[in-house]
Amino acid sequence: MNGYLKAVIGAIIGAATAGGWLVVDLLLPEPIGDYLLFGIMGLANAAIGWQVGRVLERKRNVDNGNLETSRKGLKTNSN
C-alpha cells in the first residue's frame, strides 16, 4: 500500500471519528454529557495508544531479530 492511499484512509478514519464524537456530544444532555464524553474519549485514546504501542514493539522485535513475543498462559515443560 503506497503512502498516498494510507493518507487517504487515515483522513477518512479521522473524519469519521471526529464526526462520531460530535454526534455523541449533540445527543447527550448538556452538563453530564460533557463529563461522560470526556471520560469516554480519554479511555478510547488510551486504548488506541496501547494498541499502537504493542504494534510498534512487535515490529521493533522483528526488526532486531528477536522473534519471541511475550506469551500469556502456561510455559512449556523443559523436560
Question: pLDDT (tens digit, 0 to 9) for every residue of the chain, 79 residues total?
Answer: 677 887 888 888 888 888 888 888 888 888 887 888 888 888 888 888 888 888 878 877 777 776 655 555 556 666 5
| 45, 50, 55, 60 alpha-carbon torsion, rounded to 10° | 120
pLDDT at residue 40, rounded to an integer: 84
pLDDT at site 71: 58
Query: Residue 29 has what pLDDT?
Result: 83
Helix (H) or strand (E) holding 41, with range, is: helix 30-63
Dihedral of CA 29/30/36/38: which sign?
Answer: positive
- pLDDT in the model for residue 4: 81
pLDDT of residue 69: 54
